[in-house]
């Protein structure tokens, strides 16, 4: 009788059936792991491991030395939460890897992130997509990540994400698409085609918008705005124009000129106001929206939005129809 069981277990193992290959919803909780690849054995604090699995992570705190969240296989949807790749007590802050790792190491993996904060304190990127390292990448299957929102911070200067995409020889199919979110370095190479403007906040975080007008509308004071379709020349200090919007939101931002020193003045809108163009603060000259300004020789040019309050229309009152006097009896 025992032999029959052995046969069944053997068949299940070769077919790839494993325990709990289903659906997991996490609504809240704190998840911590001190598993460190240098102390051994390694392990992400949360790691999906089967292609058929679906994990929906709504909120929670996840901390790990190896890394916080890994999509090793299957589908993951992350709505919110705090994901920290932390240091090891013995090996210091640089031990371990990523805050978010989408690997395709156990079957195909795909991950959608709608929110949350992902932070790596080590000298590693915060996000890693696809793994082609021989002996390390598991099954080398397709690994896709789409980000719609959230914050992604790496202490590694200038690099928040590593994507091993199809173009790299001997690599798994790592694919990364940015549709939203804030990043500690540029992710310009992975933007959805609808996003054409980059905003760099005062704290160095990068975010992306469809147009310069959208960016100007959302960007806080002190931001730098670049039209990615007309970017400054590489390796040069970009010429900038200060745009202020005192009558509207009170903010001041910088718009970078293209490689020829030109900027196209954005069109703005605000409820209750008519947009009257952009006024040169020194000369008083007013330019209409969509004017292409050559600012090559105008360093320190400052222009401000002109807003005209819409008149509150006077609605004429309809005179009431006088009622017919009743017939005298």
C-beta closer to Zn ion: residue 85 or 106: 85
Residue pair 101/69 in contact (Cβ under 8 Å)? The answer is yes
C-beta closer to Zn ion: residue 39 or 289: 39
C-beta closer to Zn ion: residue 11 or 90: 90
Shortest separation between residue 184's beta carbon and Zn ion, angstroms: 25
| CA gap 185, 164 in Å, rounded | 17
Residue pair 301/280 in contact (Cβ under 8 Å)? The answer is yes
Shortest separation between residue 65's beta carbon and Zn ion, angstroms: 6
Shortest separation between residue 92's beta carbon and Zn ion, angstroms: 8
Shortest separation between residue 84's beta carbon and Zn ion, angstroms: 16
C-beta closer to Zn ion: residue 122 or 185: 122
C-beta closer to Zn ion: residue 63 or 141: 63
Shortest separation between residue 36's beta carbon and Zn ion, angstroms: 3
Q: Is 175 exposed, middle or buried (0-12, 13-18, 19+ CB in 10 A)?
A: buried
DSSP 77: E
Binding site for Zn ion (CB under 5 A): 36, 38-39, 88, 90-91, 95
Reduced 3-state DSSP string for 104-150: CCCCCEEEEECCCEEEECCCCCCEEECCCCCCCCCCCCCEEEEECCC
Shortest separation between residue 115's beta carbon and Zn ion, angstroms: 30
Residue pair 117/83 in contact (Cβ under 8 Å)? The answer is yes
Q: Return all residues near 206 (Cβ < 8 A) that are at least 6 apart.
A: 182, 183, 184, 185, 186, 187, 198, 199, 200
C-beta closer to Zn ion: residue 91 or 93: 91
**Nearest one of 193, 217, 219 to 205, comparing CA atoms:** 219
């Amino acid at each position: 009788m025992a032999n029959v069981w052995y046969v069944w277990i053997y068949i299940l193992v070769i077919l790839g059936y494993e325990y709990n290959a289903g659906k997991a919803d996490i609504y809240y909780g704190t998840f911590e792991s001190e598993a460190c690849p240098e102390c051994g054995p390694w392990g992400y604090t949360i790691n999906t491991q089967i292609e058929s699995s679906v994990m929906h992570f709504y909120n929670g705190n996840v901390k790990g030395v190896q890394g916080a969240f890994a999509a090793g296989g299957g589908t993951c949807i992350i709505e919110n939460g705090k994901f920290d790749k932390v240091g090891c007590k013995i090996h210091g802050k640089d031990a371990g890897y990523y805050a978010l790792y989408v690997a395709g190491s156990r079957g195909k993996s795909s991950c959608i992130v709608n929110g949350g904060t992902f932070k790596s304190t080590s000298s590693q990127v915060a996000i890693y997509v696809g793994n082609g390292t021989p002996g390390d990448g598991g099954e080398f299957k397709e690994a896709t990540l789409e980000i719609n929102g959230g914050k992604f911070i790496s202490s590694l200067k200038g690099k928040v994400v590593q994507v091993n995409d199809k173009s790299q020889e001997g690599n798994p199919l790592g694919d990364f698409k940015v549709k939203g979110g804030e990043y500690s370095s540029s992710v310009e190479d992975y933007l959805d085609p609808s996003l054409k403007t980059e905003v760099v906040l005062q704290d160095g975080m990068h975010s992306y918008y469809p147009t310069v007008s959208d960016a100007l509308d959302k960007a806080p004071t002190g931001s730098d705005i670049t039209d990615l379709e007309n970017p400054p020349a590489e390796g040069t200090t970009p010429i900038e124009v200060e745009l202020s919007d005192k009558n509207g939101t009170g903010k001041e931002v910088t718009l970078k000129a293209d490689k020829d020193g030109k900027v196209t003045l954005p069109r703005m809108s605000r409820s209750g106001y008519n947009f009257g163009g952009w006024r040169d603060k020194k000369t008083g000259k007013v330019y209409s929206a969509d004017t292409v300004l050559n600012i090559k020789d105008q360093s320190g040019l400052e222009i401000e939005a002109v807003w005209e309050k819409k008149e509150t229309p006077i609605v004429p009152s309809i005179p009431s129809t006088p009622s017919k006097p009743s017939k005298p009896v």
